[in-house]
Amino acid sequence: MPELVITVARFGFLILLWIFVFTVVGVIRRDLFAGARSGRLVAAPRAVGASTGQAAKPAKVKRGRAAHQLVVTAGQLAGTKITLGEAQITIGRAEDSTLVITDDYASARHARLVPREGQWYVEDLGSTNGTYLDRAKVSGPTPVPLGVPIRIGRTSLELRP
């Protein structure tokens, strides 16, 4: 084997190794990017009343979401942020809740946030003191617009893009 071939093979292997590393990083990066893009796709119609607007939405945004974060704005957990995915968020004092709140006025299973067709709905789970969307009491699944406070006891939550 000529010396040149061996040298080329030796450095070629190292370069290939790093190409692999960067390709993996590329896949991971695209992975994160894909989520951000689908978010932008559905963020536009946020001003439209969600309950009326959702029927007209095209099928491709079906799994998207307008809101990306659930932020606790008041109460003991103020400042806590939950990144929203496609799973429902349960709120309550029970330790298996997604957001465990230690609020005297909260029930063990107080409320939950459910994404449906790109829109988040808040549902009261039979709590003692009720769940409020801004000032209105939540009785059935209610669409939650961005930036409108959901009040549970002394805790207040908001959806953020």
Question: E strands within 1-148?
Answer: 69-74, 81-83, 89-92, 99-100, 111-116, 119-124, 131-133, 136-137, 142-143
Instruction: Using CB under 8 A, pick the residue from 36, 44, 48, 87 that binds other proteins.
Output: 87
| For other proteins, the closer CB: 119 or 158 | 119
Residue of 128, 134, 147, 160 that binds other proteins (CB under 8 A):
128
Tokens standing for 142? 């209610």
HSE toward the beta carbon, residue 154, CA cutoff 13 A:
8
According to DSSP, residue 122 is labeled E
Which is nearer to other proteins, 31 or 55 (by Cβ)? 31
Q: Which is nearer to other proteins, 73 or 88 (CB)?
A: 88
Cross-sheet strand order for the sheet of 136-137: 81-83, 69-74, 155-160, 150-152, 131-133, 136-137
Least Å from the CB of residue 161 to other proteins = 19
| Tokens at 91, concatenated | 């709120």
* Vertex 129 angle, CA 128 and 131, to 5°: 115
User: Residue 51 carries which side chain, given as an amino acid letter?
Assistant: S
Answer for which of 19, 36, 48, 78 binds other proteins (CB under 8 A) is 19
Q: Coil, strand or helix: which one is 75?
A: coil
Q: Which residue, 84 or 145, has its beta carbon nearer to other proteins?
A: 84
Q: Which of 51, 139, 147, 160 binds other proteins (CB under 8 A)?
A: 139
Question: With binding defined as CB under 8 A, does residue 39 bind other proteins?
Answer: no
By CB under 8 A, is residue 18 in contact with other proteins?
Answer: yes
Which residue ranges make up the site for other proteins (CB under 8 A)? 1, 5-7, 9-28, 30-31, 34, 60, 62-63, 83, 85-88, 95-96, 98, 100, 102, 105, 114-117, 123-131, 137, 139-141, 153-154
